[in-house]
Amino acid sequence: MWLFAASAAGWSALLADGDTGWHIRTGQFILDGGGLPERDLFSFSRPGAPWFAWEWLSDVALGWLERQAGLKGVVLAAAAAACASITLVFRHMLWRGANLFVALAAAFLGAGASTIHYLARPHVFSLVLLAASMWLLDRDRQRPSAAVWWLVPLAALWVNVHGGFLALLVCLALVVVGTALEELAGATAGPRSWRRVWRYAGLLGASSLATLLNPYGVRLHAHIAGYLRSEWIREAVDEFQSPRFRSEALTQFEVLLFAGLLVAARLLARRQFTDALLVLAWAHAALVSVRHVPVYVVVATPVWASHASQLWDRWAAGRPARSLARIFRGVASETAGSFRRTSLWIPLALAALALNLWPVRWPRDFPEEKFPVRLIERHGAALRTARVFTSDQWADYLIYRFYPQQKVFLDGRSDFYGPELGKLYLKLSYAQADWEEAVRRFSFTLVLAPRDWPLASLLRRDPAWRLVEEDPRAVLFERAAPPQGNRAPGGH
């Protein structure tokens, strides 16, 4: 958690994505006795349309935390989950025999690379579950035991927490394929036996069946499959696009990526196909979609760190006794044991933060660097009941501030709105042809636009719209004349 307490952005960085807002309100809707929502709660563009609240258990947790401790509770839980995931990865590396200094360097690089997706959203809980699952699976591959079957009830829990349960199923499938290839290649000691292959195939099958234990059954799987196949989602949503190596976080990922690929080549040469497949598959996934970078860190880092350590130890063993290489090797061996022990300082530090015994500037609202918080506060009475056109991220924040009075045109639930409304949203944002028809169709009365939107520049010159206020980030326009044409259904 020191990563968050000591960073320049602080805890507010966890609230950089507005989706947190509708997750909180969804959870509170459930807590208030509304039941699991099956139809839309938040929009006037698709009122009452079928909706999969497929992260409902995380939503309930976030909603409860916000009620108990405000946004402090939300970010503290997210930070604890992010730190727990990288701690599990670090301990996994040591368990695999990684040199302490290699493991520390890999853990810091992994945490840095993963900051691009460290957000107070349900996926942060997936990282903890995945880190624990990969360690449990790795243990079973070295020494089979009944403990690995805990992955089955874990999958049943996970499917209600976040769609990242698919990462577990993919990893299990890769283990089945890799184990079969190792048997075919004669890479295992003793006569050929398919027992391990059938063991992991059975584990994959049982875990897959366990994921049907969700409120939507197999419909959820069909929905997620369509979501992941959507060409529009891949083109329009930033986190589904390939990484742009222009930030410190992605530079750190680049180091981890090359390290993993180099070790994967060695693994293939040694016919260790399972580890090689895990590294290569998630390296590919991370290069296709930046949201998979933290998954690559969790899955691949313990693999390459342990093999890189073997190479380092072999090299250091041939150096003179008083060389730095031998000294560091000795220090790493002597001190690694203390890092394998669980310390009470971790829960004590968490308790100190929760009880405000450690002075920290907790966020009281979403960060002003990302959201026009003060402008929205000043015009809350008008925004609360208006038909507002705004960015999907700011719409998420409006849901957080004004639900249930506020209904939005489009928020961050890209799987719900689909390509038709998504493309219309982009047309309006860029003031493309026929944008006025969309304004009439949905009877917008306010536009809250980022200052750099083409629509904002156009509305400044449009007599049908009046500039209400602008600040360094946003511009608020009010329709000067009643909109012509029919209102969209479901208005308020």
> Where are the extended beta strands (E) located within 339-485?
388-390, 446-450, 465-470, 474-479
Are the C-beta atoms of 203 and 148 separated by less than 8 Å? yes
Task: Report d(CA 449, CA 456) in Å as an integer.
Answer: 6
The burial of 317, by beta-carbon neighbours within 10 Å (0-12 exposed, 13-18 middle, 19 or more buried), is given as exposed
Q: Give tens-digit pLDDT for 28-46.
A: 999 999 999 999 999 999 9
Region of residue 271 (left: phi > 0; alpha: psi -120 to 50; beta: else) = left
Q: Are 110 and 300 in contact (CB under 8 A)?
A: no
> Would you say residue 490 has pLDDT above 50?
no
Contact 16, 178 (CB under 8 A): no
For 392-400, what is the mean pLDDT? 97
Which residue shows structure tokens 């890999």?
Answer: 106
Helix 100-114 with 248-269: angle, nearest 10 deg? 130
Query: Which of 3-17, 122-136, 326-340, 403-417 has the weakest average pLDDT?
Result: 326-340
pLDDT at 483: 54
**Three-state SS for 389?**
strand
* Residue 121 clears pLDDT 90, i.e. is over it: yes
Q: Taking residues 303-313, what's their average pLDDT?
A: 86
* Position 488 confidence tier, pLDDT thresholds 50, 70, 90: very low
How crowded is residue 149: how many other Cβ atoms within 10 Å of its Cβ? 16
Segment (H or E) for 72: helix 56-95
Give the DSSP letter string of 10-57: GGGGGG-STHHHHHHHHHHHIIIII-S--B-SSBSSSTT-B---TTHH
pLDDT tens readout for residues 84-112:
999 999 999 999 989 888 899 999 999 99
Averaged pLDDT of the chain: 89
Q: Which of 7-21, 361-375, 377-391 has the lowest mean pLDDT?
A: 7-21
203-to-64, 180, 286, 437 alpha-carbon distances in Å: 34, 15, 26, 54
Q: Which pLDDT belongs to residue 275?
A: 96
Helix (H) or strand (E) holding 79: helix 56-95
CA neighbor of 142 nearest in space, from 329, 310, 294, 303: 303
State yes or no: pLDDT of 388 exceeds 80: yes
pLDDT of residue 333: 67
Torsion of CA 373, 290, 10, 26, to 10 degrees: 50
Residue 11 near residue 360, CB atoms below 8 Å: yes
CA proximity to 165, closest of 137, 128, 138 = 128
pLDDT of residue 338: 64
From the list 470, 427, 463, the residue with the least C-alpha distance to 448 is 470
Mean pLDDT calculated for residue range 440-455: 94
pLDDT band at residue 480, thresholds of 50, 70 and 90?
A: confident
Could you give the percent of the chain with pLDDT greater than 70? 89
pLDDT at 332: 63
> The tokens 């947190």 sit on which residue?
20
pLDDT at position 413, please?
Answer: 93
Give the strand order in the sheet containing 465-470: 388-390, 446-450, 474-479, 465-470
Q: Are strands 388-390 and 446-450 parallel, antiparallel or unpaired?
A: parallel
The Cα–Cα gap between 405 and 180 comes to: 57
Task: Determine the length of the chain.
Answer: 492
pLDDT at 489: 41
344 or 293: whose pLDDT is higher? 293
Q: Is the pLDDT of residue 133 over 70?
A: yes
Confidence of residue 5 (pLDDT cuts 50, 70, 90): low
The Cα 287–Cα 282 span in angstroms is: 8
Q: Are 112 and 249 in contact (CB under 8 A)?
A: yes
Residue 327 has pLDDT above 70, yes or no: no
Position 237 confidence tier, pLDDT thresholds 50, 70, 90: confident
% pLDDT > 90, the chain: 70
- Reported as a pLDDT band with limits 50, 70 and 90, residue 351 is confident
Mean predicted confidence (pLDDT) in 332-361: 75
The answer to whether 456 and 394 have CB atoms below 8 angstroms apart is no
Whether the predicted pLDDT of 8 surpasses 60? no
152-196: pLDDT as tens digits: 999 999 999 999 999 999 999 999 999 999 999 886 665 667 899
**Lowest-pLDDT range of 275-284, 323-332, 390-399:** 323-332
Q: How far apart are CA 263 and CA 279, in angstroms?
A: 9
> pLDDT band for position 11 (50/70/90)?
confident
Residue-wise DSSP of 401-419: HHTTT--BS--S-HHHHHH
Q: Which tokens go with 22?
A: 């509708």
